[in-house]
Amino acid sequence: CRFSQMLHPIFEEASNVIKEEYPDKNQVVFARVDCDQHSDIAQRYRISKYPTLKLFRNGMMMKREYRGQRSVTAIADYIRQQKSNPIREVQDLEEISSLDRSRRNIIGYFEQKDSDNYRTFERVANILHDDCVFLSAFGAISKAERFSGDNIIYKPPGENAPDMVYLGSLTNFDLIYAWTQDKCVPLVREITFENGEELTEEGLPFLILFHMKDDLESLEKFQQEVARQLIGEKGTINFLHADCDKFRHPLLHIQKTPADCPVIAIDSFRHMYVFSDFSDLSVPGKLKQFVLDLHSGKLHREFHHGPDPTDVAPGQPIQDLASSPPESSFQKLAPSEHRYTLLREKDEL
């Protein structure tokens, strides 16, 4: 791969620059993998384009890969940024009352910074700082919030949204991480041209609500039904919503226009399938069955061969059965030297 060959000396020089600033090898490690020789590693981390730069923290691969400029300076600056403290220390509890309540805030109240409790909190913040704002308070400043010991609070978006308290062990990284991730990463996320590639790289099919930007009623209903019917499917499919105006091209793939919104569809990265009708969203179990039919292969089978003998097809038949269902649209967000991407289409519009 000539692009990998071009990056290699740049990557190596950047590693030397960082090694001088962080000589302790436990601070930063640069590594490279030959994916021809180690295809198992490439498969495990869903590497499909080269070269790819992935960031790992505490043994965990971060969702956001490095997409900055391929230069020594840019890569070194990226590492310096990653080494910066993701937690803002609060000097007065009055600062809490003026937080930006449009953001998701996680606040840790600790007796002292040099403690296992805070070190665990810091590890979690290092991983999730792109999804939440992390703050901390210590000693006398935090005393009023430590009536039962060190404490972690989540302040969700919204001026009147109630706080949530973490009730598990403060030294158990897995528990704190799971709780914090649940609070920081919404169940239903918005897909945009900026994060589409990143979401695609998570490797999970998409369940997408296409809606007009000011149609918050449909979004709220979709969010409620996903939480009610599909919470157990989290980790097997990504729940997303998209602006109909911005994503006209994927709508065209399923023979829809913004005038048809709201529309629910699944993109399996092979094909796209349309939910029968948005009004059916409130039918108990229907949305869940739509997702289960994806996992079982039923949606794909019925589009190619017609409804199963004893069933009515849950996906709206938007093409003749003799032809294939619409091709995936969002997989084209992944960059390629030989593929016309939605990102480029957006730039040309």
Per residue in 281-335, pLDDT (tens digit) is 989 999 999 999 999 988 888 777 767 665 555 555 444 443 555 677 676 554 4
- Is 225 part of a structural domain of the chain? yes
CA 80 to chain centre: 23
Specify if 341 maps to a domain: no
Which SS3 state, helix, strand or coil, does residue 151 take? strand
Residue 215 sits in the same domain as residue 317: yes
Contacts 24+ apart (CB under 8 A), 302-310: 303/271, 303/273
Q: How many distinct structural domains can be found in the chain?
A: 3
- Which parts of the chain have pLDDT scores under 50? 317-322, 334-349
Beta-bridged to residue 109, according to DSSP, are 137, 151
* Residues whose CB falls within 8 Å of the CB of residue 72, separated by 6 or more in sequence, listed in order: 10, 13, 14, 17
Q: Are residues 137 and 226 in the same domain?
A: no
- Torsion over CA: 91, 94, 100, 103 (sign): positive
Structural domain span for residue 298: 189-334
| pLDDT (0 to 100) of residue 240 | 96
Domain-embedded: residue 342: no
Instruction: Pick the last residue of a domain from 83, 117, 141.
Output: 83
298 with 216, same domain: the answer is yes
Inter-CA distances, 315 with 9, 280, 287, 302, 332, Å:
50, 12, 11, 9, 23
Judgement on whether residues 178 and 218 belong to the same structural domain of the protein: no
- The SS3 assignment for 138 reads strand
- Shared domain check, 321 and 202: yes
Domain assignment present for 208: yes
- pLDDT score recorded for residue 154: 96
Q: Give the C-alpha separation, 296 to 305, whole Å.
A: 15
Same domain, 204 and 294: yes
Write phi, then psi, for 321 (nearest 5 degrees).
Answer: -65, -20
Q: Which residues contact 55 (CB under 8 A, 6 or more apart)?
A: 61, 62, 64, 65, 66, 82
How high is the pLDDT of residue 331?
62
Same domain? For 150 and 26 the reply is: no
